[in-house]
């Protein structure tokens, strides 16, 4: 199945572009929306949710599936000591997905819940209420998670392209 390798590699890198490209701009948009406030903030939240659903999630899955198919297509020696870079990448990638689906996701859902509750309690014709200290703390943590994931993705990209001999 070696002929499949370049096609799978193409799909793999396409998945990387889709999954992680947009996420590097999330912080810039969030900062702008926070400065402008009101409708800009709600537009940014909706846009990020949509980009997550249409690009980030399918892309993340595509990277994972094509990654394992690449290994399968050429019987890649993934367990050999010379492929520590690959083993490390798989652990980092799966760890990142697990963290995202549990801790980070729970924080994001809690932000949505608290903001909706605050909006419902505020007068309908007034400006949207400012985020409470708990929401601010959660937003801070979610942003920190996002930055850490951005760094991990760059690290995996380095491991994938350079394939350094990692002594473990």
* Between 83 and 115, CB nearer to ligand HEM: 83
d(CA 98, CA 42) in angstroms, rounded, equals: 27
113-116 LR contacts (CB < 8 Å, sep 24+): 114/138
Please identify which residue in 4, 51, 62, 64 interacts with ligand HEM, judged by CB under 6 A. Answer: 64
CA 139 centroid distance within chain: 15
Comparing CB distances to ligand HEM, the nearer of 83 and 138 is 83
For residue 11, the minimal CB distance to ligand HEM (Å) is: 11
Under the criterion CB under 6 A, does residue 11 sit at the interface with ligand HEM? no
In 52-132, which ranges are continuous DSSP H helix?
57-73, 84-99, 105-121
In the complex, the residues that contact ligand HEM under the rule CB under 6 A are 9, 12-13, 16, 63-64, 67-68, 70-71, 76, 89-90, 93, 153, 156-157, 160-161
């Amino acid at each position: 199945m070696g002929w499949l390798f370049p096609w799978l590699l193409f799909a793999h890198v396409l998945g990387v572009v889709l999954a992680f490209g947009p996420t590097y701009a999330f912080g810039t948009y969030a900062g702008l929306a926070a400065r402008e406030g009101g409708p800009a903030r709600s537009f940014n939240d909706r846009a990020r949710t949509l980009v997550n659903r249409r690009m980030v999630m399918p892309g993340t899955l595509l990277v994972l599936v094509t990654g394992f198919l690449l290994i399968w297509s050429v019987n890649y020696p993934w367990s050999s000591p010379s492929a520590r870079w690959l083993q490390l990448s798989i652990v980092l990638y799966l760890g990142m997905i697990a963290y995202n689906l549990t801790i980070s996701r729970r924080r994001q859902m809690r932000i949505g819940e608290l903001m909706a509750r605050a909006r419902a309690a505020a007068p309908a014709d007034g400006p949207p209420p400012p985020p409470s200290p708990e929401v601010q703390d959660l937003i801070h943590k979610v942003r920190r998670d996002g930055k850490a994931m951005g760094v991990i993705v760059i690290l995996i990209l380095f491991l994938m392209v350079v394939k350094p001999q990692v002594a473990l």
